[in-house]
Each structure stands twice: as structure tokens, then as C-alpha cells.
């Protein structure tokens, strides 16, 4: 595999005088990401594709992007940022939903086959930092080889995709809404990296600075370095206009780099726009014309990504209105020790929580309605059924039950936000209740004194003060209370009737 500068393509470009020199009044059609502007005449395109396909076949690295023509093939550049990278199945689901959303807007002008898409992926993800959190960025390029648009109609179709996914796919966190996932820049800037081409970024050591680049042992004087393994986009999926997988079409593209370059190039010649906009009365209910206007304008500058430390758990609690009044329990306090013992017993058979350790416990709320927030070192969230990248998971314990909660903005497949999620509850033991809420124990004793005159047998409904707290031993809390109440009422009724 060649990492050097002189590939078959570069030799060909020099030979055919394709480099645009500074001050030359010549339109450039392509850009080399490792340096250089190009003008490749239309009559040389067949040779250009042949030479580039030869380099791709031999593993020679080229870093080349192409500029849009006035009429170009419709495309989307997807930048999906989340705690976990997208899987191939996730990508296929999104691509199929995009095709479903676009069907009504394209079917009057194009056949099912003409609406086909080529989904291109890199097979790798990029780690990005947002507000101090490390997230995974999955890049996807989708090309419509037979859909020819101008910039205005490309923005129109982008709005269709955003609005459909916003209402028919999982919701997105605030750091990466669908408006940012479906990138606007490819319609306002000049072009897109060609398939089979690598991406280069500034050298992380010398930053490309003149006084340092010459002696840099990371980029060897180039000033730039491959990002990851090159983040090379190649076709991974082909779907027709109805979302049906076209495996044979994909096989052709994988086995014929020349054909792949032809079909995925966004530049076109002697073509006219071949789609029309729907009239307002034909818009589906989920499509908002005012959103179309908003999506057609350049998005406001993104908030600056300040590099700051991840907030502490206590700081996160401070952002929640109901959690601000808090007292941190001492680790050797009776309350802390008792809660720790209860948690260990409760989750002793739980695959994800059995080995967790309690880091802190906070008592929150007013005295009469106090509750406990339990921070552990577990990152497993039941809402998304996986671990989070940062420790957002916590447990909420009150005078009756305990449940798992979360601070994360992630959504599950049903669009339930982790930040709004509460797991199924488990009851706490009477012993723990007596320690954390002694006033309830006193109240029960007082009630028992008042009821001493009645011969009431309710032992089956009582909870043993030394009862074991195991996640297996807990019945449904509603069922347990229901049985207890039924037996208590029965015995009460019998005792009252005796005196009648």
C-alpha cells in the first residue's frame, strides 16, 4: 500500500498539466486535500476515472474532492454523533426511512429504479469531544445517481429528509439534532470527497507550521496526516426507491471501481434538473412549509465547543431543579452503610449491577418528603440497554421503592430520553425503611396501639424486619400491597361482625 505522494493519479495529473497555478484564471474542478487545485477537462474524464480506479485497486492513497457542477447528483452528507457509532443495521434502517420519506416527492418524476441510492461508509468512526464528553461520529454519504438537482432543489429534498426522520425515527439529543446530522455545508460549499479517496488533516504535532513542519517526525515534512485509516468512503449498500436492497447492484460497484466512480461522482454534464417541487396542497401532513424556509437558509453558527472538564455528579444534580437541596451522607453513617448493604443484596444476581460500588449518597428534598440519590460506578442504563460513555446512571430511593434513573440526553429506539426515564421500581425492606424513615416506624406503632382492641391477624402481609432483599425475591409491589390490604380488610370485617 502506497502512502507516498507519487501515485498513478498524480503522475497522470502532472503529465496532463491539470494543476491550476496561483494567479491562473482557470476554474478548478477538483481539490487535492494534501495540496493543489485541479482543472480536469471533460474530455479527459474517462482517463481520469481509469487512473483513479487503478490506484484504488492497488491501495494507493489519493486525497481528492470534486466540486459541484451547476446541476449535480443529489447527495446527503450524514454526520451522526452519539455515544455509540452506528451499526450497519442502524445505517440501513435510516437509509430505508429516507427513501420512504422521499417517495411522495420523487415518484411523479422518477421510477422506483431511478430513485435508487448508493450508501457509502468508511467502516470506521471518529471520536469527537462535545462539552467535555467523548462521543462517536459516524459519517455516511448517500448518492442518488439518477436524481439531478440544483442547489435550491437539493435544499428542498434535505428539508424533506430532516422532517421525515424527525417524526418517524428516534429523537436526537440537543448536541446533534437532525438539522445537524443532515449536513447543510455540502450544498453551500463547493463539493465532496470522492469515493475511494482518503482524508488528510493537519498534523497534530507540527500543525503544518512552516518553522516546525520541516523537522516533524510525525508527518515527515508534509504538514498533514491521514485521519484514522484514511476514512475512505466506499459503497456498502444500494437501495431502490422503495427501500429494497439491490445486492447485485452493490456487487457491480464493489467489483468495478470505474463504474463506481462514474455513479458516485456528483459532477454531471449535459443534464437538466429532473425533479419538480410538489404544490402545497400535495404536501403530506408531516411536512411543514415553514420548516422548508428555515432549512433553506444557512444555519446559525454552531455554539463554540469549549474544552472543559466533565461536570461532577454533584454539578449534574445542580442542573435539576428537584435535586438542588441535598446533604451528602458520610460513608460511615448508619444510613450509608444500610443503603449499601441493601443495594448489594438487591442486585446480587443482576448481570450489570452486581459488582457496582456506591460512590456517594445524597439526601434531597424537604425533611418530611426526603429521598435519596445514589451514585454508583455503574454506567449501565436500562433505558438503552447498554453502558453510557460517562457515568450518568443513578438510583432514586424513597420511603417505599428504589429505581434506576439517568442524566444522559440519549434516546432509546422508542424515543424515550434517558433523562426522563425511570426503571421499574423494587420495594425497599422494612428494616431499611425503619432506619431511613424512623418517623414512619413510630407512626405504625401508634396505629397498632389504637387497634389493639381488634383481633386482627395480618402477619402474612407484614414484612420481616430482617427480610432478605434480593432482586429475585421481590414480587410486584402492587400485587404485594393488594394481597396485604385484602387480608387486612377481611380480618377487620370479621372482627367487627363478631361484636354486632
- pLDDT computed for residue 457 by the predictor: 42
**Residue 180 shares a structural domain with residue 249:** yes
Is the model's pLDDT at 203 over the cut of 60?
yes
Return the percentage of the chain with pLDDT > 70, whole number: 82
Residues in Cβ contact with 80 at an 8 Å cutoff, skipping those fewer than 6 apart: 86, 137, 138, 139, 140, 176, 181
Check residue 489 and give its pLDDT. 42
pLDDT computed for residue 313 by the predictor = 67
- Domain end (from 28, 46, 67): 67
Are residues 272 and 417 part of one domain? no
Domain boundary among 244, 267, 296: 296
**Is 224 part of a structural domain of the chain?**
no
pLDDT-derived band at 306, boundaries 50, 70, 90: very low
Average pLDDT score over the chain: 84
Mean pLDDT of the region 85-113? 97
What does the pLDDT look like over 315-363, one tens digit per residue?
667 666 666 667 889 999 999 999 999 999 999 889 889 889 999 999 9
Residue 410 has pLDDT above 90, yes or no: no
Q: What is the pLDDT of residues 349-408, one digit of tens each?
A: 898 898 899 999 999 888 888 899 999 988 899 888 888 877 678 999 999 999 999 888
pLDDT digits (tens, 9 = 90+) for 243-296: 999 999 999 999 999 999 999 999 999 999 999 999 999 999 999 999 999 998
Judgement on whether residues 62 and 80 belong to the same structural domain of the protein: no
Which of residues 128 and 492 earns the better pLDDT score?
128
- Average the pLDDT over 457-469 and give the result: 42
Query: Residue 302: inside a domain, yes or no?
Result: no
- Are residues 184 and 87 both part of a single domain? yes
- Considering the domain boundaries, does residue 227 fall inside one? no
Tell me: do 431 and 455 sit in the same domain.
Answer: no
289 and 369 inside one domain: no
* Section 228-243 average pLDDT: 94
Looking at residue 451, its pLDDT comes to 61
Q: Of 9-13, 443-447, 471-475, which one has max mean pLDDT?
A: 9-13
Q: What is the pLDDT of residue 463?
A: 40
Do 243 and 124 lie in one domain? The reply is: yes
pLDDT at 487: 54
- Residue among 223, 225, 245 at smallest CA distance from 236: 245
Domain extent at residue 362: 313-436
pLDDT greater than 80 at residue 62: yes
Same domain, 274 and 327: no
Note whether 58 and 95 are same-domain residues. no
**Residue 303 located in a structural domain:** no
**383 plus 468 within the same structural domain:** no
Q: Is residue 161 part of a domain?
A: yes
Task: Calculate mean pLDDT across residues 62-72.
Answer: 95
Instruction: Decide if 445 is inside a domain.
Output: no
Q: What is the reported pLDDT for 479?
A: 43
Which of 283-292, 295-304, 448-457 is the most confident on average?
283-292
Q: What is the 3-state secondary structure (H, E, C) of the chain?
A: CCCCCCCHHHHHHHHCCCECCCCCCCCCCEEECCCCEECCCHHHHHHHHHHHHHHHHHCCCCCEEEECCCCEEEEEEEEEEECCCCCHHHHHHHHHHHHHHHHHHHCCCCCCCCCCEEEEECCCCEEEEECCEEEEEEEEEEEEEEEEECHHHHHHHHHHHHHHHHHHCCCCCCCCCHHHHECCHHHHCCEEECCCCCCEEECCCCCCCHHHHCCCCCCCCCCEEECCCCCCCEEEEEECCCCCECHHHHHHHHHCHHHHHHHHCCECCCCCCCCCCCCHHHCCCCCCHHHHHHHHCCCCCCCCCCCCCCCCHHHHHHCCHHHCCEEECCCCCHHHHHHHHHHHHHCCCCCCCCCCCEEEEEEECCHHHCEEEEEECCCEECCCCEECCCCCEEEEECCCEEEEEECCCCECCCCCEHHHCCCCCEECCHHHHHHHCHHHHHHHHHHHHHCCCCCCCCHHHCCCCCCCCCCCCCCCHHHHHHHHHHHHHHHHHHHHHHCC
Task: Name the residue among 373, 294, 391 with its Cα closest to residue 326.
Answer: 373
How many domains does one find in the chain? 4
> Do 419 and 494 fall into the same domain?
no
Q: For residue 181, is it within any domain? A: yes
Note whether 480 and 395 are same-domain residues. no
pLDDT tens for 6-61 read 899 999 999 999 999 988 888 999 999 888 899 999 999 999 999 999 999 999 99
Query: Final residue of a domain: which of 67, 91, 106?
Result: 67
211 domain-assigned: no
Amino acid at each position: 500500500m502506497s502512502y507516498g505522494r507519487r501515485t498513478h493519479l498524480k503522475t497522470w495529473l502532472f503529465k496532463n498539466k491539470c494543476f491550476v497555478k496561483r494567479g491562473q484564471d482557470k476554474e478548478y474542478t477538483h481539490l487535492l486535500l494534501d495540496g493543489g487545485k485541479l482543472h480536469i477537462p471533460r474530455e479527459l474524464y474517462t482517463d481520469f476515472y481509469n487512473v483513479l480506479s487503478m490506484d484504488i485497486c492497488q491501495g494507493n492513497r489519493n486525497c481528492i474532492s470534486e466540486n459541484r457542477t451547476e446541476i449535480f447528483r443529489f447527495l446527503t452528507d450524514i454526520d451522526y454523533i452519539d455515544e455509540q457509532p452506528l451499526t450497519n443495521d442502524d445505517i440501513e434502517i435510516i437509509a430505508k426511512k429516507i427513501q420512504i420519506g422521499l417517495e411522495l416527492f420523487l415518484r411523479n418524476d422518477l421510477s422506483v429504479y431511478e430513485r435508487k441510492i448508493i450508501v457509502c461508509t468508511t467502516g470506521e468512526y471518529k471520536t469527537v469531544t462535545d462539552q467535555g464528553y467523548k462521543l462517536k461520529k459516524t459519517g455516511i454519504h448517500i448518492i442518488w445517481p439518477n436524481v439531478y438537482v440544483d442547489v435550491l432543489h437539493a435544499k428542498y429534498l434535505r428539508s424533506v429528509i430532516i422532517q421525515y426522520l424527525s417524526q418517524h425515527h428516534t429523537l436526537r439529543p440537543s448536541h446533534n439534532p437532525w438539522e445537524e446530522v443532515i449536513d447543510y455545508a455540502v450544498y453551500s460549499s463547493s463539493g465532496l470527497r470522492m469515493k475511494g479517496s482518503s482524508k488528510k488533516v493537519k498534523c497534530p504535532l507540527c500543525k503544518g507550521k512552516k518553522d516546525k513542519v520541516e523537522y516533524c517526525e510525525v508527518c515527515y515534512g508534509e504538514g498533514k496526516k491521514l485521519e484514522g485509516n484514511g476514512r475512505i468512503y466506499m459503497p456498502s449498500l444500494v437501495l431502490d426507491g422503495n427501500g429494497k436492497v439491490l445486492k447485485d447492484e452493490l456487487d457491480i460497484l464493489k467489483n468495478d471501481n470505474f463504474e463506481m466512480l462514474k455513479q458516485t461522482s456528483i459532477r454531471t454534464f449535459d443534464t437538466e434538473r429532473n425533479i419538480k417541487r410538489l404544490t402545497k396542497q400535495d404536501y403530506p401532513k408531516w411536512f411543514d412549509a415553514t420548516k422548508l424556509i428555515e432549512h433553506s437558509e444557512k444555519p446559525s453558527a454552531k455554539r463554540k465547543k469549549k474544552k472543559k472538564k466533565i461536570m461532577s455528579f454533584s454539578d449534574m444534580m445542580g442542573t435539576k431543579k428537584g435535586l438542588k437541596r441535598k446533604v451528602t451522607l458520610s460513608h460511615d453513617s448508619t444510613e450509608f452503610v444500610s443503603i449499601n448493604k441493601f443495594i448489594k443484596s438487591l442486585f446480587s444476581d443482576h448481570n450489570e449491577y452486581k459488582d457496582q460500588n456506591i460512590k456517594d449518597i445524597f439526601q434531597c428534598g424537604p425533611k418530611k418528603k426526603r429521598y435519596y440519590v445514589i451514585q454508583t460506578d455503574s454506567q449501565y442504563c436500562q433505558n438503552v440497554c447498554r453502558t453510557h460513555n460517562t457515568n450518568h446512571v443513578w438510583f432514586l430511593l424513597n420511603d417505599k421503592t428504589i429505581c434506576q434513573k439517568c442524566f444522559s440526553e440519549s434516546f432509546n429506539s422508542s424515543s424515550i430520553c434517558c433523562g426522563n426515564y425511570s426503571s421499574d421500581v423494587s420495594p425497599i425492606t422494612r428494616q431499611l425503611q425503619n432506619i431511613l424513615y424512623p418517623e414512619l416506624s413510630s407512626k405504625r406503632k401508634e396505629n397498632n396501639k389504637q387497634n389493639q382492641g381488634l383481633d386482627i391477624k395480618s402477619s402474612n402481609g407484614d414484612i420481616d424486619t430482617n427480610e432478605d432483599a434480593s432482586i429475585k425475591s421481590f414480587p410486584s409491589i402492587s400485587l404485594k400491597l393488594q394481597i396485604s390490604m385484602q387480608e387486612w380488610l377481611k380480618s377487620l370485617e370479621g372482627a367487627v361482625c363478631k361484636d354486632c
